[in-house]
Amino acid sequence: LQNTAVLILARGGSKGVRLKNFQTVGGISLVGRSILNARNAYLEDITVSTDHPLIALEALKYNARILIRSYITATDWAPSIWGVEEFIETRPDVTVVVLLQVTSPLLKAKHLNLALKKLHFPKAFDCIFSVTRSYKLRWTFRNETMYPVNFNVQKRPRRQDWSGDFIETGSFYIARRKLIESGYLQNNK
């Protein structure tokens, strides 16, 4: 049986927008929105990992659990996986982690549910994350030269010629414990 937990990483020290995770969209804070999104997807085990008292209070207001984030995992240079690893260390019972990013407040509970179903069917996948399909033809600039990234200039694909690229939306990352324990949120399985 799977023990699915939602994790929301919401540190206080955001660089771009001050106390970003506490900012509101339509009168509800980003942290609050993530918690409500999880709950609307029938996920009850919700933890907000933070290093900031105001964010912790906000999370409590929505009846989420709090994890006091360590200094290291709350720094500017810490990747999310560190915060996820810190969380599962405190929760040996958890087998699946749903990482919700507060920067995607418009996530639909329906999509989160579909993703969770996909984790188990048609087979047991290690991870599921949110992407959008893109047919945009991309170029990169390296060593003073432009290079096509995802197509061949001599054989430019038409939209109907290929299945496109998948771009992470950053909305959610679902991963099984064993994958996280190996140090990653994603693989191709």
Catalytic residues: 156
Task: State which of positions 68-97 bind ligand SLB (CB under 6 A).
Answer: 79-80
At its nearest, how many Å lie between ligand SLB and the CB of residue 162?
A: 22
At its nearest, how many Å lie between ligand SLB and the CB of residue 52?
A: 17
- Residue range at the interface with ligand SLB (CB under 6 A); choices 40-48, 55-63, 65-73, 165-173: 165-173
Give yes or no for residue 23 binding ligand SLB (CB under 6 A). Answer: no
At its nearest, how many Å lie between ligand SLB and the CB of residue 81?
A: 7
At its nearest, how many Å lie between ligand SLB and the CB of residue 82?
A: 9
Q: Which is nearer to ligand SLB, 60 or 166 (CB)?
A: 166
- Residue range at the interface with ligand SLB (CB under 6 A); choices 30-38, 50-58, 65-73, 166-174: 166-174
* Residue among 179, 12, 175 at smallest CA distance from 99: 175
Q: Applying CB under 6 A, which of residues 13, 53, 164, 170 lies at the interface with ligand SLB?
A: 170
SS (H, E, C) the chain: CCCEEEEEECCCCCCCCCCHHHCEECCEEHHHHHHHHHHHCCCCCEEEEECCHHHHHHHHHCCCEEEECCCHHHCCCCCHHHHHHHHHHHCCCCCEEEEECCCCCCCCHHHHHHHHHHHHCCCCCCEEEEEEEECCCCEEEECCEEEECCCCHHHCCCHHHCCCEEEEEEEEEEEEHHHHHCCCCCCCC
Binding site for ligand SLB (CB under 6 A): 79-80, 101, 168, 170, 173, 185
